[in-house]
Chains A and B, each alone.
Chain A
Amino acid sequence: MSETFTKTMARNIFFGGSLFFILVLLGLTFHTTKALPERDNRQNLTDQVAQGKLLWEENNCLGCHTLMGEGAYFAPELANVYDRFGKNTAAIKAFIKSRPANGIPGRRSMPQFNFSDEELDALAEFLKYVSEINDADWPPNIQG
């Protein structure tokens, strides 16, 4: 870098540029939070869904699965599992409930979490609520 371009100028670009983009980010964040009610399916965010989300977290589900593409890549995407299972919460609950405690020889298997019926209902409702969020048509197809 040439002598006419000084350290002070570089420093000013750093502070000025960073500050500018922090302000832009704050502005866009504010706008996004205002736009979210149209997209994030909050009208269906019931206490039961909130309980489902807590169960989702306290059993570290995204240690294997993705949800809207975020998480681990060891097990199927779940943001659209409600659609994949034919919009049938009973099928989701039956699947979770039927996992063998000692796994499947040679295969990946979801652990048996021994959820109560109430917990299964909450989890299924949570997955249904997530599937109805407007996430710009992701994933590309039903397979996730």
Chain B
Amino acid sequence: MKFQSQSVAMPYFIAAIGLFVGQILFGLIMGLQYVMGDFLFPEIPFNVARMVHTNLLIVWVLFGFMGASYYLIPEESQTELFSPKLAIAMFWIFLVAGALTIVGYLAVPYATLAELTGNKLLPTMGREFLEQPTITKIGIVIVALAFIFNVGMTVLKGRKTAISMVLMIGLVGLAVLFLFSFYNPHNIVLDKMFWWWVVHLWVEGVWELILGAILAFVLIKITGVDREVIEKWLYMIVAMALITGILGMGHHYFWIGTPEYWQLIGSVFSALEPIPFFMMTLFAFNMINQRRREHPNKAAALWAMGCGVMAFLGAGVWGFLHTLSPVNYYTHGSQVTAAHGHMAFYGAYAMVVMCMISYSMPLMRGRIANSRQAQVVEMWGFWLMTVSMVFITLFLTGAGILQVWLQRFSDAPQSFMAVQDQIAIFYWLRELAGVFFLIGLGVYIWSFFVEGEEVTVDNTAAPAAA
């Protein structure tokens, strides 16, 4: 760690991992409710568990992005963070606001929460992923503004690199696009159309910039490859992300009342959306192959390669699987969508945050890398979680294909619940894979507490010939 203020990232990462645990626990509750419909009913109905599951995901990934930025920006800018105190204050505000919101979901019926928080004054609640009370949304905006001000001032007073530029564009885009969550017209078509300006332009737009920047930063550090090469890759990746992803939003405009031409535009551009993810995979593997140093943090390199591969599979391949409009006509809003969502979010955003944590946490704890023993445990966590996620995705895909066939494609379409009963075996298997995922997460957390011989060797200068 080169600058003292980088250590404000630590509480952000700890909170991220803590909330991640909560997310998985509620995922298991939901998974069980799929096959045991009365589980925890009416205390925690499915919609509440789902809201907690998805909102925790968003919040922990945002904690991860903020922690990553606080670590990365001072080092890239070669100067201390503008205000570490502001960063810590925002941490507590975000954590308390997030925790209160989750408690609100669980403690009272959602309609009561809406009433208590004055939703009628400015109704923004009750839309997928944007379920937070309006007051929480305002809090998110304040925290985001303070955060961007803090890292932005740091960039302005220091060195400006391509990595920090791309990251800043991603973060500003994240904050600006979130403002569409306050637009909620009575017209459901307009509502849905601009809801995607938050959701799609986040995860298939500006978040990819954040992902690319974090990955590029870690790769520079662990491979020692020339910055010029890495930043050229970064620009090409984010260029392809936005060139394909902006009009790729058309794949959400097939069946919500928007004109038919979106079927062509959305199919063509979203079919190209795997390209930036494939480039990320090539990027990570190439840079590590061409490494000019033997960084002792092998776990971080594994996360970087894993992130590229899993993002390509989850977001790229599983996205392409159902993105062409003639296919999507049958698969839209089925378990196929759920399969894609799980692997894409894990592969792209969960893994990039864990990649950054893996690289920076040892440094913040005063060592270049964790002990070999700790890294072995961390890699076990990596493989358990990643393989479990592959199986979760495969089982949901199986469920989805059968669901589409029985409910939508066959000559005698059956009702939703009749079909759900017939595909229950896939839900059981998914739940089992989910248990293994939780075990993997436990192993991952355990790795932070494994002692071992200290790693001191840093062969930075080793192969100078290349």
Give A residues with C-beta under 8 Å from B. 1, 5-7, 10-11, 13-14, 17-18, 21-22, 24-25, 28-29, 31-33, 35-36, 39-42, 45, 49-50, 53-54, 56-64, 66-77, 101-109, 111-113, 129-130, 133-136, 138-144
Contact = CB atoms under 8 A, between A and B. Distances in A.
A53 B123 CA distance: 10
A136 B260 CA distance: 7
Residues of B contacting A: mostly: helix
A28 B37 CA distance: 43
Given A60-B47, A73-B337, A28 B38 contact: no
A140 B407 CA distance: 9
B186 A53 contact: yes
Contact of A105 (B38, B48, B228, B408): B38
A101 B414 CA distance: 27
Given A59-B110, A103-B37, 4 more contacts: A7-B231, A53-B188, A57-B119, A103-B41
Contacts of B187: 36, 40, 42, 45
Nearest to A113: B111
Given A68-B255, A101-B42, A136 B263 contact: yes
Contact of A140 (B30, B128, B408): B408
B236 A1 contact: yes
Contact of A63 (B51, B231, B258): B51
A143 B418 CA distance: 10
Contacts of A53: 186, 188
Interface of B: 30, 33-34, 36-38, 41-42, 45-48, 50-51, 110-111, 114-115, 119-120, 123, 125-128, 131, 162, 184, 186-190, 192-193, 228-229, 231-233, 235-236, 238-239, 242-243, 246-247, 249, 253-260, 262-263, 265, 329-330, 332-335, 337-338, 407-409, 413-417, 420
Given A76-B416, A138-B329, A57 B125 contact: yes
Given A57-B125, A73-B338, A76-B416, A108 B46 contact: yes
A58 B42 contact: no
A21 B247 contact: yes
Contact of A138 (B114, B123, B254): B254
A77 B416 contact: yes
B127 A62 contact: yes
Given A40-B187, A108-B417, A135-B257, A7 B50 contact: no
Contacts of A75: 46, 416
Given A103-B37, A111-B45, A70 B128 contact: yes
Chain B CB within 10 A, most for which of A18, A42, A57, A77: A57
B257 A134 contact: yes
5 contacts: A17-B239, A18-B243, A58-B126, A73-B334, A74-B47
Contacts of B409: 140
A96 to B, nearest CB: 14
B329 A140 contact: yes
A138 B255 CA distance: 6
A143 B413 contact: yes
B131 A14 contact: no
A40 B239 contact: no
Contact of A73 (B41, B246, B335): B335
A32 B192 contact: no
